Amino acid sequence: MKFSNRVGSMQASPVRKLVPFATAAKKDGVKVYHLNIGQPDIKTPEGFMKAVRDFDESVLEYADSVGSDELVNAMIEYYKGYDINYESGEILITNGGSEALLFAMMTLCNPGENILVPEPFYTNYNGFATSVDVQIRPITTKAEEGFHLPSKEKVLASLDENTRAILISNPGNPTGAIYTIEEMQMLAEVAIEKDLWIISDEVYREFVYDGLKYTSFGNLENVADRVIIVDSVSKRYSACGARIGSLASKNKEFIAQVLKLCQGRLCVPTLEMIGAAELYKTPKSYLEEVNKEYCKRRDTLYEEIMKIPGVVCEKPTGAFYMVVKLPVENAEDFVIFMLKEFRHNGATTMATPAENFYATPGLGRDEVRLAYILNCDDLKASAECLRLGLEAYKAAGNK
């Protein structure tokens, strides 16, 4: 009984494959600080459940394949707040940002073609691509440079004749980097010169700190016909379980192509769209409060992490992740050590090994991604665990 190469060669989720070790620790009564996942503890705005509870149709019917008018219209208004002008017919609602990314890849690339992505990148980019026979070509960025992009020449040198698109996450997961307007204009130039699409994953749009100015690819007029914006309510409104994402583009032909995929799977859930429409009407003050909270968490975790001898970490300016270079040879081995062997005050810390966030073999072996999604006291305790755990790891003879 054979399986396809595309799914056969997909790696199991690096974020989820260590879960059994955490489960075993918890069964032993150990408290596990989860810095490994992007599940926020922020309250979902109450409008979501209120609207869902008010649903009183006697039949839970199919929705429109493009998404509900209410949700699309709420998103149009939301985008206007960022000077991004989309109209009805330019937005498709998807099953999370995940389906948006998968549909974009399927629509733009034949098997064997590729997409340029700055590494380290959200590891599921590689999963989606592999599952539909698309390759990820990395543009390597470095912790020491705050994960900013290399020169235009290096970006041009990274692509080949089979490159169809540039995919970025901005603010970046796992890097926490925010691209400058100059970096984005450089990518826009490359896209125009090489006739590439730009897929801009902006699900962390509001998670920008230190008063930095954030520019969306939806603001760049010169590439409007080749830009595809991926969005999601998951992180923005702490509604990961709603699985409501979207694709937006001024390129009507692109929308028409993706619509065929949307029609094939009929629609996204009716109730989730009812709730999500309310989310997109949430006052900006909610997002500002959340932003403040994450900024505080970032400062707390960063300060504690920098107390650990031998780490390399540039303070991130966006999203809610940081990539930390540890003074170890194999970060995954260290993460497993933490879960299996190390306890401090009955607790341990779970991080995500970063190697799978890279496409270039060998890179990231000594790095982990930390998500600062816990309250500040827990973040302090979790960083202390990491510091003491590293000492114990070394003391046990590990390199």
Query: Nearer to a copy of itself by C-beta: 143 or 359?
Result: 359
Identify residues 131-160 at the interface with a copy of itself (CB under 8 A): 131-133
CA angle 140/141/147 to nearest 5° reads 160
CA gap 392, 17 in Å, rounded: 24
Helices marked H in 194-342:
252-264, 270-279, 284-305, 331-340
For β-strands 321-325 and 347-350, DSSP reports them as unpaired
Angle, helices 270-279 vs 69-80, to 10°: value is: 20
Q: Which positions ≥6 away from 392 have C-beta within 8 Å?
A: 341, 342
195 binds a copy of itself (CB under 8 A): yes
> Between 110 and 345, whose beta carbon lies closer to a copy of itself?
110
Q: Which of 47, 118, 120, 127 binds a copy of itself (CB under 8 A)?
A: 127
CA 381 to the chain's CA centroid: 25
266 binds a copy of itself (CB under 8 A): yes
Q: How far is the CB of 158 from a copy of itself (least distance, A)?
A: 20
Q: Which of 30, 192, 240, 392 binds a copy of itself (CB under 8 A)?
A: 240
Q: Which of 217, 254, 280, 321 binds a copy of itself (CB under 8 A)?
A: 254
Told to check if 396 binds a copy of itself by CB under 8 A, we report no
Shortest Cβ distance from residue 367 to a copy of itself (Å)?
Answer: 21
7 counts as binding a copy of itself under rule CB under 8 A:
yes
197 binds a copy of itself, rule: CB under 8 A: yes
Give the distance from CA 183 to its chain's centroid. Answer: 19
Q: How far is CA 395 from CA 106, 332, 341, 366, 398, in A?
A: 49, 17, 13, 18, 7
- Compare residues 105 and 386 and give the one whose CB is closer to a copy of itself: 105
Q: Judged by CB under 8 A, which stretch of 198-206, 212-220, 251-259, 383-391 contacts a copy of itself? A: 251-259
Show the binding pattern over residues 327-366: x = contacts a copy of itself (CB under 8 A), - = does not.
----------------------------------------
Considering the rule CB under 8 A, would residue 222 count as an interface residue with a copy of itself? no
Question: What does the alpha-carbon distance between residue 62 and residue 269 come to, in Å, rounded to a whole number?
Answer: 8
Site for a copy of itself (CB under 8 A): which residue of 225, 293, 299, 333? Answer: 225
User: What is the smallest separation between the CB atom of 131 and a copy of itself, expressed in angstroms?
Assistant: 6
Closest approach of a copy of itself to the CB of residue 87, in Å:
19
Of 268, 277, 311, 368, the one binding a copy of itself by CB under 8 A: 268
Footprint of a copy of itself on 296-315 (CB under 8 A): none
Instruction: Looking at residues 80 to 109 of the shown chain, list those that interact with a copy of itself (rule: CB under 8 A).
Output: 95-96, 98-99, 102, 106-109
Packing angle of the helix pair 96-108, 252-264 (nearest 10 deg): 120
Q: 187: exposed, middle or buried (C-beta count within 10 Å: 0-12, 13-18, 19+)?
A: buried
Nearest CA-CA partner of 233 in 101, 103, 95, 371 = 95
Piece in contact with a copy of itself (CB under 8 A), picked from 255-263, 296-304, 319-327, 380-388: 255-263
Rule CB under 8 A: is residue 61 a binding residue for a copy of itself? yes
Give one DSSP letter per residue of 206-269, joined into a string. T-B-TTPPP--GGG-GGGGGGEEEEEESTTTTT-GGG-EEEEE-S-HHHHHHHHHHHHHT----
- Considering the complex, state which of residue 107 and residue 349 has its C-beta at the smaller distance from a copy of itself: 107
- If you count them, how many residues does the chain have? 399
Biggest CA pair distance of the chain: 65
Residue 6: CB minimum distance to a copy of itself, A = 7
